[in-house]
Amino acid sequence: MRASSQAMQHYFITGASSGIGRALAVSLAKAGHKVSATARRTDKLAELSNDYPTIQPISCDVTDSMSVKDAVQTAKISHGQIDIAVLNAGVYVPQDARHMSVDPYIDHMDVNYFGVIRCIEALLPDMLANKQGHLALMASVAGYRGLPRAAAYGPTKAAIISLAESMMFDLQNSGIKLQVINPGFVETEATNVNDFEMPDIITAELAAKNIQAGLLSHKFEIAFPRTFVRKMRFLKFLPASIYFRLMKRIISK
């Protein structure tokens, strides 16, 4: 599958009111692209469009299929056919399994996983009909293995990685480019709640630059920062007994 051209493109971004989504929308607008920036917090989106005229703010709740379909339709009316969709909307709330409550687990899955599914459902028919398009699904290195306090978040990202890998078989020779994005720790509203040291953490702006460059590549996985990703890939292939002992030692420091 070909990499996206650097000519003006129409990007559809979910979760664009803050964090990585917002930084990516700004970076793409500065590069001259048309951006449909979607989120539930429309006041935050309005601030973006005031500063960058090529950013179209669109209200969208990824937990609501009709809201997603309406957002896609609005995006097409405003900016034309969607070339690239970055399905970034997500939630992260640390969990302690010793105090299990099902609601936050359902909420995480509804936004982080089924939210992506709802977007794909709304976006894919046009891309298939046109035999072109580009989907980038936001996962995380937290989907590689279970991590402390990530019992609600991590499984949703593991599911996205598996979804993207499975979809690759179905989309072969369709003209559609599919990628999965696996960031490490990024400075956002979500990670601000963490009270532990986050190794190799980067700014949302740097994350956006990594994503923008990755979208132009032929790589299936866009993973960054490199140092942290290498560590996580190493841990991914350790036997469980060694992994748990090593993580316990790291956490206790």
Strand order from edge to edge, sheet including 10-13: 55-59, 34-39, 10-13, 84-87, 133-138, 176-183, 221-224
Q: What residues does 55 pair with on adjacent strands?
A: 35
Mean per-residue pLDDT for 106-135?
Answer: 98
Distance, CA of 170 to CA of 225 (rounded, Å): 30
Distance, CA of 172 to CA of 216 (rounded, Å): 18
Q: Check if the beta carbon of residue 29 is closer than 8 Å to that of residue 208.
A: no
| The residue type at 68 | V
Query: CA Rg, the chain, in Å?
Result: 18
- Which pTM value belongs to this model? 0.93
Residue 226 confidence (pLDDT): 94
Does the pLDDT at position 8 exceed 60?
yes
Long-range CB pairs of 244-252, under 8 A, 24+ apart, other chains included: 247/147, 247/148, 251/148
Residue 2 confidence (pLDDT): 39
pLDDT in tens, 147-189: 888 999 999 999 999 999 999 999 999 999 999 999 998 887 7
Does the pLDDT at position 5 exceed 70?
no
pLDDT in tens, 240-251: 999 999 988 877
Does the pLDDT at position 191 exceed 80?
no
Distance, CA of 55 to CA of 88 (rounded, Å): 16
Residue ranges and CATH numbers for the domains of the chain are 10-251 (3.40.50.720)
Average pLDDT of the chain is 93
Asked about 52 being catalytic, the answer comes back as no
Q: Which of these ranges, 13-17, 26-30, 47-51, 204-208, has the smallest mean pLDDT?
A: 47-51
Mean per-residue pLDDT for 62-67?
Answer: 98
Task: Decide: helix, strand or coil at residue 102.
Answer: helix
Catalytic residue among 11, 92, 144, 153, which? Answer: 153
